[in-house]
């Protein structure tokens, strides 16, 4: 089934998320007050990742729905980046991809069989039946 497009998170959802978290970052716990004045500094993360959600029966949204405030977390831009790519901004190399979206994406591809390498499997019944019991 085709996966629905990602939707922008409406303002009421963001407000609900901020209120639930008490205006604090879901990752580091520091206040997100700056994010209120400058929206670019607060980002919203889908938990679980959209990638890992099942598509609903109608194929119009996910389960849970994309914009369900209970499944979205507000966090600093830097914290979001660290969580998403498993990388601390400015770090030279990836520290860890565990529990990050990058890790999940890999796993998800594997689950759906979208791997680049494919082992060729010989058909199990490759010998014609009439050769059975053939004597030399």
Residues that bind Zn ion (CB under 5 A): 25, 27-28, 76, 79
- How far is it, in rounded angstroms, from Cα 38 to Cα 76? 11
Place of tokens 């963001």: 14
Closest distance to Zn ion from the beta carbon of 35 (Å): 10
What is the smallest separation between the CB atom of 96 and Zn ion, expressed in angstroms? 17
**Beta carbon nearer to Zn ion, 27 or 68:** 27
- Closer to Zn ion by CB, 27 or 61: give it: 27
What is d(CA 10, CA 95) in angstroms, rounded to the nearest whole number? 33
The answer to whether 69 and 11 have CB atoms below 8 angstroms apart is no
Question: Which position's Cβ is nearest Zn ion?
Answer: 25
**Phi, psi (5° rounding) for residue 134?**
-65, 130
Query: In terms of CB distance, is 17 or 79 closer to Zn ion?
Result: 79
């Amino acid at each position: 089934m085709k996966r629905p497009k990602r939707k922008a998170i409406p303002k009421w959802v963001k407000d609900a998320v901020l209120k639930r978290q008490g205006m604090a970052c879901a990752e580091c716990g520091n206040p997100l007050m700056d994010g209120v004045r400058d929206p670019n500094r607060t980002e919203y993360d889908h938990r679980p990742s959209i990638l890992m959600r099942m598509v609903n029966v109608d194929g119009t949204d996910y389960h849970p729905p994309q914009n369900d405030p209970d499944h979205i977390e507000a966090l600093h831009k830097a914290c979001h980046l660290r969580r998403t790519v498993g990388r601390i901004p400015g770090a030279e190399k990836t520290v860890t991809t565990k529990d990050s979206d990058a890790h999940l994406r890999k796993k998800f591809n594997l689950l759906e069989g979208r791997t680049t390498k494919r082992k060729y499997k010989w058909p199990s019944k490759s010998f014609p039946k009439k050769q059975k019991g053939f004597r030399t």
